[in-house]
Amino acid sequence: MATRAQTPRAPRKKREPSPTRNSPRAAAEATSKGNGSQPKPNSGKRNAKTASAIEFDRANHRPALITPEQLEKLIATLINDGFEVIGPTVRDEAITYDPVKCVADLPAGWIDEQEPARYRLKKSDNPALFGYSLGAQSWKTFLHPAEARLFAAEKQNGAFHILNNDPIPAVSRALLGVRACELAAIRAQDRVLLGDKYRDPIYGSRRESALIIAVQCSHAAATCFCASIGSGPKVSDGFDLLLTELVDANGHRFVVEPGTDRGIGLLARVDAKPALEADLVAVESALASAAQQQRKLDTAGLKKFLYENFENPQWDKISARCLSCANCTMSCPTCFCTTVDDATDVTGTHAERCRRWDSCFTQSFSYIHGGSIRTSAKARYRQWITHKLAAWTDQFGSLGCVGCGRCITWCPAAIDITEEVRAMREGGVRADA
């Protein structure tokens, strides 16, 4: 038997299950020698920043410089401290985030070409480890898992027993290669899943134990539009360490900025040297290049515009192409909606309730007694866009889009959210129509 989480126009709050134990922090505390552990995000804050991130003053710490060999040492240090390092790798002809053991696991020399409904990897002569723009999936996979057991029940010796929730991950994770838009997406999910009355303990346990190593963008994909959203391309906060990769006549190196005390502790353990002024100038040049983006989303007055254009004819044009495949919601780093399934084994002695990602593009998502309230692709696409770019602001105080462009790249019909909004505003036709 399956039960579905219902989401009216404003997503309802989920009831929090029994609280779980605090996640193991020994590895994180060892990394910073006791000074950099991050406490549980404050559910009363709109942005779930940790106390250490708030108190840490980056201006007091000059950027450092490390080599690829020292990055190798950093990965080994994290693994030795008990972290599972998750970073970019090449799998199935795409950049995916998977466990990495050493620098050789990273996608050296690989760049990505992204267009609407098109993604290709291409080998280049540049030895950069982070030369791609974005991975195919987001870090949401590791913080808000696609499937999680909420509880299990068993019949033992004639008695009915409720078992514990899914155990907290046995190891903490270090996320290596997080971009600015992806950090913005994590902040958005912090607000949704931790920042209200009911905290999500599954997300919270993974989030509070995570160590984040961000990487600055040095170029933008054709589908990126984070600059117009204000979520990138420059990383500003929310990290333990921030890397900017440089490959030029002066060699292959990384300028590293600490963002927390445990980031400082890690730099000391890999013998990082102070960065030179020429390196800092090169960093600014790389960031300027990443800000040159083909696409943009005009957000001025957008919420009011969408609320007033519920029956705009552009919705019909979009729905005629939309396949309702849900690729956009599955690849989106901020989408958080789920459904709940109950399953019982054939013996009748064991039952489980699992939470799984769901999409507002399926008819069953809006099913209530009597049927689905969004039976057409038009209604479902309109709900998604209006929630992302309008209702999300009313609910959580910010846009639900970070401009990563994944929904454009992975839409098989090449539907472009920036182009559709532009066409709707202008009352015209899409540029590629």
Give the model's pLDDT for residue 308.
93
Tokens in use for 200?
């999500």
Give the model's pLDDT for residue 265.
94
Cis (ω within 30 of 0) for the bond into 68? no
Give the model's pLDDT for residue 165.
65
| Euclidean distance between CA atoms 87 and 108, whole angstroms | 12
Read off the pLDDT of each residue in 186-209 and give the average, rounded to a whole number.
93
- Nearest CA to 246 among 289, 183, 182, 213? 289
Give the model's pLDDT for residue 372.
85
Average pLDDT score, the chain: 85
| Euclidean distance between CA atoms 117 and 316, whole angstroms | 20
Name the one residue in this structure whose structure tokens are 């078992």. Answer: 163
Give the range with max mean pLDDT: 7-11, 12-16, 346-350.
346-350
Domain ranges of the chain: 2-148+164-290, 302-340+356-426
pTM for the whole structure = 0.83
| Euclidean distance between CA atoms 275 and 257, whole angstroms | 10
Give the model's pLDDT for residue 357.
95
Give the model's pLDDT for residue 364.
87
Angle ∠(412,413,418) on CA atoms, nearest 5: 110
Give the model's pLDDT for residue 366.
87
Read off the pLDDT of each residue in 399-410 and give the average, rounded to a whole number.
96
Band (421; pLDDT cuts 50, 70, 90): very high
State pLDDT tens for residues 316-333: 999 999 999 999 999 999
| Euclidean distance between CA atoms 339 and 315, whole angstroms | 26
Band (41; pLDDT cuts 50, 70, 90): very low
Band (55; pLDDT cuts 50, 70, 90): low
Whether the per-residue pLDDT at 45 is higher than 60: the answer is: no
Give the model's pLDDT for residue 197.
87
Tokens in use for 364?
């069953």
State pLDDT tens for residues 119-140: 999 999 999 999 999 999 999 9
Q: Considering only 72-81, 182-191, 287-296, 401-410, which range has the smallest mean pLDDT?
A: 287-296
Whether the per-residue pLDDT at 305 is higher than 60: the answer is: yes
| Euclidean distance between CA atoms 226 and 178, whole angstroms | 14
State pLDDT tens for residues 337-351: 999 999 999 988 899
Read off the pLDDT of each residue in 396-414 and give the average, rounded to a whole number.
95
